[in-house]
Structure 1
Amino acid sequence: MSTHDHNDVVVHADGETTPARFENPGLHEHTPRQADVDPRVTKRVERQVLALFTASIIGTIVVVWAYFALPPGETASSMRTSNIVLGVGLAVCLLGIGIGGNYFIKVLMSNREYTEERHAQRSSDETREVAVQMLQDGAQDSGLTRRKALVGAGVTALALFPLSILVPLLGNVGSDWNVRKFKHTMWKKGMRLHTDPTNRPIRAADVTIGDVWHVIPEGLEELEHGKLDEKAKAVVLLVRLDPRDLRSDQSPEGETWSHDGIVAYSKICTHVGCPVALYEQQTHHLLCPCHQSTFDVADGCKVVFGPAKRPLPQLPITVDDEGYLVAQSDFTEPIGPTFWERATK
């Protein structure tokens, strides 16, 4: 409980007093910036902002040009070149607008504070005239009317920027959006496991406990079209453990999917599709370097840590009459990250 006394203070129940009202401290004293007092600094900043907006315009032009002139193609080098040019162009486009606009606002536009007493919602005609004049004065104070080159460059950069997104987006209209192709790979029954990148068949007797082999399907090099796409889906990591350490190497139907401690799992992380290839022999853990999802090779590559939600799909393997490792079938579930159609059937 509190009461007011004649000195316009509040007296609390515990005897403490506080002022009932506080004096308005007013606005802080304005400290002029260097650009406010030195015309040379102002001109230098104007040139810098103009250069940033111009860089943004050039970045947008580069993105549009690269989209048509540098298609990804079928080779790793062409994909890398296309992605680098598109990425750098888009970065310059966005950074030019962001840094240039921020620099313009903080250095060139007025930073004075203004206050206005609250009044009735419907102002008088005289007040409205004053408000319009204040807006005009504010525009004049901001320098927008005097810096037409900067305004033109900024508006042009903002107007062209959407092209860096719309051109690739509209260019992909009608493209192949069939996600069923991700449900199956080129692995099939009896297909031998080959080393990556030397492309040699793998004999089971050559794989010792603790070994880790990077594997591709037999016949991959013979493909004329789509070789990179098929490899991206079908890459496998082969590991040999002591059979006594395996806690899970069977299908849900009870079929054995390993051979004498040798297991094969998809290298494509079920989080966002990064290559999983860091194996720790002591714990039998497999680590994805992108976001640290960790899988237990000894227990069906189940997730033990990280953002991944599904185990790595296992490739059922066995040996043929010559002792070479072969696939029993394709993966029985889709590889890689989750998409909107997960079922394999």
Structure 2
Amino acid sequence: MSGDDHGHGAVELAEPIADPGIEPHEHRITDIDPKAADRVERQVATMFTLAGLLALGACVAYFAIPRDAVLQFGPLSGNANNMTIGLCLGLALFLIGAGAIQWAKKLMVDTEIVEYRHAAGGTPEQRADIIEGFQTGAAESGFGRRKLIRRSLIGAMALLGLPAIVLLRDLGPAPGRKLYNTIWAQGIRVVNDVTLRPIKPSDLVVGQLVNGAPANLAPLQEESPVEYQNAKAKAAVIVVRIAPNEIRTPAGRENWGIDGILCYSKICTHVGCPISLYEQTTHHVLCPCHQSTFDLADGAKVIFGPAARPLPQLPLAVDAEGYLVAQSGFTEPVGPSFWERG
């Protein structure tokens, strides 16, 4: 450094910090005392076993404790069924986690290692090293050797799935034959789903599509809002008028339309989205959810998209007063396919 530099605050370069390395490994008592290791193994297995029993307890509580039973804790109260199930499941998950932590801290190998970063694409030798390292880790975990831990953990995890299956009952009663039927029946008038006015053939012009509903739907709204929504979701229809010479009528449906007026379920047969995006010139109706496309002039068959079935058709007739009515209910289940459809 020159003499002129002393008065101008010259900066000296510091020496780099030396690599401290890895501290010497300290053996745990379970590493040197087999009895201590066995004692920890029994502790972990006990936690896993208790977790499995608590999972079973949640299932028992679901059936044994009345749904209206109440637990009172001073000024606090809660549903006994829900609280017991929640407590059992919470403790089961806690014990599985605590057992896994105890197993990792006391029994698995804890030797520190250094692994240098490398390129994302490994060589065959590196991939072989990774596989060997995985196999070594599996062996060092003791999962294969410590049968008590392995069996209790597998049992606890298997039993933990039971409450989830049992709680599926709370999704509601099985629908039974309800999925096959709607409130449409012989003689039920077709009404506009907004104005609720009955529809006459003269109300529709060629190319027009309207959203419809059964006339017996409206009374349900006051009787039972839940039943009303369920019925509405399945009974919604679209009514379209097409020039008769452009209709390709499927066999057996020759008398299902009235002067080119056809009626189909509004519910897409893919996942049940409502349909009404109509292209007048092609007679195609599009589902906005996944673009399934149906040809209303050809039995509403699928011409594009993931839907696997045509839209169910409602047979139409005209009553004594000239209004559109259903000849019968739908002859097949409406909405998305399901495995019991047959």
TM-score (norm 1): 0.51
Aligned to 2:215: 218
Correspondence 1:113 to 2:110? no
- 1:239 matched to 2:252? The reply is no
Q: 1:254 to 1:276 in 2, by over 3 A?
A: closer
Q: 1:236 to 1:261 in 2, by over 3 A?
A: same
Distance 1:169-1:210 versus aligned 2 partners, 3 A rule: farther
Describe the shift of the 1:168–1:254 C-alpha distance in structure 2 as closer, same or farther (beyond 3 A).
closer
The answer to whether the Cα contact below 8 Å between 1:205 and 1:323 also exists between their aligned partners in 2 is no
Residues in 2 aligned to 1:287 and 1:336: alpha-carbon distance in whole angstroms = 15
Between the aligned residues of both structures, percent identity stands at 52
Match of 1:322 in 2: 321
Among 178, 185, 190, the alignment partner of 1:188 is 185
Name structure 1 gaps, 5 residues minimum.
Answer: 1-67, 69-111, 122-127, 133-161
Distance 2:116 2:285 in 1: 61
Q: Distance in 1 between matches of 2:335 and 2:206?
A: 27
Are 1:307 and 2:309 counterparts? no
> Structure 1 pair 278/169, CA: closer, same or farther in 2 (3 Å)?
farther
Contact in 2 for aligned 1:313/1:335 (Cα 8 Å) = yes
**Partner AA of 1:181 in structure 2:** K
Q: Which runs of 5+ in 2 are unaligned?
A: 1-66, 68-113, 118-125, 142-159
User: Aligned partners of 1:230 and 1:326: how far apart in 2?
Assistant: 18
Q: Please tell me the residue identity of whatever aligns with 2:201.
A: A
Once the two structures are TM-superposed, the CA of residue 253 in structure 1 deviates from its matched residue by 3.2
Give 3-state SS (helix, strand or coil) of 2:229's partner: helix
Deviation at 1:168, TM superposition (A): 10
Partner of 2:252: 253
**What is the DSSP-based 3-state SS (H/G/I as helix, E as strand, rest coil) of the residue aligned with 2:298?**
coil
Please list the CA deviations of residues 216-260 of structure 1 after superposition, one character each: whole Å capped at 9, or x if unmatched.
101211012200000100000000011111111x5x435411000
Q: Indicate the RMSD between aligned Cα atoms, in angstroms.
A: 3.4
Q: Secondary structure at the match of 1:190?
A: coil
Tell me the residue number matched to 2:205.
208
CA distance in 2, matches of 1:171, 1:254: 41
Find the aligned partners of 1:273 and 1:169 in 2 and give their Cα distance. Answer: 27
Q: Could you tell me how far 1:174 is from its partner in structure 2?
A: 7.6
Tell me which residue corresponds to 2:292.
Answer: 293
Q: 1:201 to 1:173 in 2, by over 3 A?
A: same
> What residue identity is the alignment partner of 1:213?
V
TM-score (norm 2): 0.51
1:193/1:321 CA distance change after superposition, 3 Å: same
1:338 counterpart letter in structure 2: S
The Cα offsets for residues 191-238 of structure 1, whole Å up to 9 and x where unpaired, read as 100111221111111111111110010121101220000010000000
**2:342 is aligned with 1:340:** no
Secondary structure, in 3 states, of the residue corresponding to 2:270? coil
2:188–2:326 Cα contact (<8 Å) kept: yes
In structure 1, how many angstroms separate the alpha carbons of the residues matched to 2:253 and 2:264? 18
Q: 1:133-144, aligned counterparts within 5 Å?
A: none
- Cα deviation for residue 178 of structure 1 reads 2.5
**Alpha carbons 1:179, 1:341 under 8 Å: kept:** no
For the 8 Å contact 1:246–1:298, the answer to whether it is kept is yes
Count of residues paired in the alignment: 194
State whether residues 183 and 216 of structure 2, in contact with CA within 8 Å, keep that contact through their aligned partners in structure 1.
no
Match of 1:83 in 2: none
Higher helix share: 2
Q: Which amino acid aligns with 1:241?
A: I
The one-letter code of the counterpart of 1:195 is N
Structure 1 runs (4+) deviating above 2 angstroms are 112-118, 166-169, 171-175, 252-255
SS of alignment partner, residue 298 of structure 1? helix
CA contact (8 A) 1:318 1:327 kept: yes
